[in-house]
Amino acid sequence: MQTDKDCIFCKIVAGEIPCFKLYEDDSTLSFMDINPANEGHALVIPKEHWRNVYVVPDDLFAAVAVSVKKIAQAVQSALSPDGVNVVQANGKGAAQSVEHFHVHVLPRTLGDELKLNWGLNPGDMERIKICSETIKAAL
């Protein structure tokens, strides 16, 4: 399996850094974003390290897409947001903050005024934990 020893997401996959895990299968992992744009903000990644959409193999892209759909459905069921954005960024110009292919599942509420480049603002770990448990229960 391809990994990068300096990648925070590879360290999460390896269990070296803890996460609020939502879902895992043979090739993907989903967990809560600890710098959430909105409550319930989740990430889906391939377990293998691929920098961006340009290089991720098609089969892993497809596996991530299947997991994204599961997580989006669980977020909708668990949190009842007004909507959900599925966002994927590539490169600094698109505000890709971690160079490991990943997809954001972003619950939205009407009037939240969330901008595409939402910045990195640490979230409340206890609220993130509670939210992760609520979403996992909906899987």
CA distance 114 to 92: 19
Instruction: Select which of 41, 49, 100, 102 is catalytic.
Output: 102
Q: What is the dihedral of CA 112, 116, 117, 120, to 10 degrees?
A: 50
Q: Is residue 139 within 8 Å of 23, Cβ to Cβ?
A: yes
Residue 102 bears catalytic tag: yes
The residues carrying an active-site annotation are: 102
